[in-house]
Structure 1
Amino acid sequence: AVYSAIDLVNPLSVLSNSVPIVRTSVHLFFNLPFFSDFLEKWIFSGVLDKNVLNKTKEWFKIGLKKWDISRDGPYFGFKILNYLNKYFYVWLDAPIGYMSTFENLCKKRKNLNFDEFWNKNSNCELYHFIGKDIVYFHTLFWPAILEASGFRKPTKIFVHGYVTIHGNKLSKSKNDFILASDWLKYLDSDSLRYYYACKLSNNIQDIEFNIYQLVEKVNTDIVNKVVNLASRSASFINKNFCGKLADQLSDIKLYMKFISESKSIEVLFNNREFSLAMKKIMALSDIANKYINDQKPWKLEIEKYDQLHMIASMGVNLFRVIMTWLKPVTPSLAERSELFLKIKLDWKGIKKPLLNHTISKFKILYKRIDINKIQL
């Protein structure tokens, strides 16, 4: 719900510990009720998920109110022309950044056309990912502004919960937050991306951040399962076969089983069931590592050279498939993996295994995280 300070019982600022003073001031309003019919039709056309849609129904039932889009100085943001000491409310101009930053990109890249993406009849799909505390702005105010100014509206709006630390919402005033610059002193972006992916679903539940859990997750999944699969397989290929993969795999049925799972993983990605996608990918990583363990290639180095070649090549190929699935989540690791494999990781390309292909000498793709060296 949205309340004015004077609607509260005994209102008190949590920042300054002061009581609000009521003053008379002239303000500008956006006529949101004028767009009620349009907004209701647009929202109920499938733009929102059901769990968020129920909340918007309440707003239409109560009736939309005119939106105060001005603030008295001192304030930050843009001054309103022809008004003394008046500024536009920050949430009026903030979403315009979606368009202005993209227009700036279009000016730098001649292959991008702003109108193709943003004109009213655009065929491009446009998705917004937002926090649950700004649903009101993105489902009512922003689309009404777009409609009034003759631009297209989002195809769908996806709402997520908060990221919390120690059970509290990230807050700069309470010092419950981590700066990106501090994060990058100790960790990479892939680690955080993977951690989020393991927790993200298509609902609006909060995500509790825990650094110990993150380190355990990355070390166990990315280092022990995924990268280790490449390391142990490549060592045989580099040492015994001059980096060249075999002309056939030791178990083509297992390889095709992995390929058949691509469709279900793709569906999970498209449905934003990222945690389920990561769980499925790691389960398949376990199968890949179990296969190598069961085959015991280290016992074949002398007697069964051809079999060793095919088994190790199988491990490299399964690693390639797994990393192709993980590429949207861990792009930096994917880039290093591409240099190692000497091939681009492509979703359609994995249908055909890498055979008679020369890989690079294996280098460490991802270092184990030492929790004792992190000071966030």
Structure 2
Amino acid sequence: MTAPTPLRVLYAGTPETAVPVLHALLDSPHEVVGVLTRPDAPVGRRRVLTPSPVAIVAEEAGLPVLKADRLRGPEGADALQAIRALEADVAVVVAYGALVPAEALQIPRHGWLNLHFSALPAYRGAAPVQRAVMAGETEIAADVFQLEEGLDTGPVFARLTRPVAADETAGAVLTDLAERGGPLVIDVLDRLAAGTAMATPQRGEPSHAPKLTAADGLVDPARPAAEVAARINGVTPEPGAWGWLTADDGAAPARFKLDGVAPVRAGDDGWPSALDAAVPGQILVAAKAAWLRTAGGAVRLSRVQPAGRKLMPAADWARGAAAGAALLAGEALAHHEEQARQEAAARAAAREAARNAAAQDEEARA
């Protein structure tokens, strides 16, 4: 029996998460005819323009690299023309970072395949792994599906699943899924080449996973331990978990970053008795570890970052922390956040008033 003809593949991706699938494609029988990625972006304190991780790998492999911010409208016309010239049979996209318009979807004869890190239609959107970990999901998936104009709506060709441990961060889960996703994509391409690929329409109630903001990382220790741990791990490494640190010295609350935690319920194995008298928000050292007391339990802290300092082992920081070190929790946290919102609104109003006054002065002089 004659082997199927390998496919000509356009690969679209940008961040480190998209690199493993590109490596898998390069190691497969299929031919990568070009790579589409976002333009070079400023990186580091000096804001040096740097190619994306996918662009670096593609250039090292000697592949044609197309750099485009968008594929829609006049700005995307040149990119679409370049994509047509590649004569790809199929496009594979992993975290490219821009919407693919209908005109582009129609160029390859097999369309565009997307590796998405959820069991669709759950967690459609930009941050499926982060939102799933934040929600306390115990299992997470990766799907290869047919890209359509709708947001993550197309039929699914293949799926893999894996468990999520209570102490796993979104970063660790995403790295693992990206590695496992390579063989999944290759399997779908093999079946497309052989004419045996079958896609199944998405079923079930959709949910959405919008991009995270810094506000998503704010921790309220008045919540249960499992919920607190899920939030912290879900926003690690980006945008990062944080709280408002206070102490008995009367200083104003300061931002305090938390990095990696594991939850323990009161009375469970591993529960230090020293935590019994602690209140939600209190941070203390017990059983050679640093703990953040929560409602009904605690989370064991891995690393922390006080304001103006670098990440450090949590236990080392806690041993030298000021007396009464604690994160704002419950009503105290809500009051602090409301006060901060009011102050921000007042500053914005003052700036607007100053701009209006300056404009009126300019008109008067004219």
The interval holding the TM-score normalised by the smaller chain is under 0.3
More helix, by proportion:
1
Q: If the length of structure 1 is used for normalisation, what is the TM-score?
A: 0.27
Looking at CA atoms only, which structure, 1 or 2, has the larger radius of gyration? Answer: 1
Using the size of structure 2 for normalisation, the TM-score is 0.28
Tell me which protein shows more strand as a share of its residues. 2
Question: Relative contact order (C-alpha < 8 Å, sep 6+): which is higher?
Answer: 1
